[in-house]
Chains A and B, each alone.
Chain A
């Protein structure tokens, strides 16, 4: 089976940094994706990690440790538009298994 855990909610102030953790136990692993989903909209792709280490993409970075079954998404210089749900998903062959998502609220 697949088990993917992430916190339900996080709140942070505009301009701050927030780290969203994701732990997983899955029967197979072909990579880990992070998606952003604004309320009422489609999930959109943020990042992909398959090797251990940090991938940086502008204000967003994602880290993976395969031995620990652990990833995090780091959001820097938070903006109001970053208020959204962030979904951690593990790829196994064809299938993506998703965590329940973390709702991030950015306050002024």
Chain B
């Protein structure tokens, strides 16, 4: 089974702090994704990476950056946290775009509160 592990289930930070969310997958997947999930809005894509050191903006990248130095690890960075970034953050991985029938596999999520 694919295992996607997020470093924290719950995190509380202060406005203006730099925040790092870490995600690791153990199945040698090419593609990795960061989403945020808010009530009534569903999952929205922040950034994704189709390979090591590659990154692409998703639908809501403002205020975020990412890093993928190793294939198994994809980090989401909040450069200067703000209260509107309080949300559930979900990481996902997927084998490769060539296998369209392969689903994305999700981590358990990090519930981030910015005070």
Contacts and interface: CB of A to CB of B under 8 A. Distances in A.
Answer yes or no: are A and B bound together in one complex.
yes
12 contacts: A30-B100, A31-B100, A41-B108, A43-B43, A45-B104, A45-B105, A48-B101, A94-B48, A95-B58, A96-B33, A98-B42, A100-B40
Contacts of B25: none
Interface residues of B, number: 24
Interface of A: 8, 30-31, 33, 35, 40-45, 48, 50, 87, 89, 91, 93-101
Contact of A95 (B48, B103, B107): B48
Contacts of A31: 100-101
Nearest to B44: A98
Contacts of B40: 8, 100
Given A30-B100, A48-B101, A94-B56, A99 B42 contact: yes
B97 A94 contact: yes
Interface in B73-115: 90, 97, 100-101, 103-109
A91 B100 contact: yes
Given A30-B100, A45-B103, A93-B97, 5 more contacts: A33-B104, A42-B109, A43-B43, A96-B43, A96-B104
Given A98-B43, A100-B41, A43 B106 contact: yes
A93 to B, nearest CB: 7
Contacts of A48: 101, 103
Contacts of B105: 45
Contacts of A97: 45
B31 A101 contact: no
Nearest to B104: A96
User: Which among B41, B42, B58, B107 has the highest number of chain A CB atoms within 10 Å?
Assistant: B42
Contacts of A99: 42
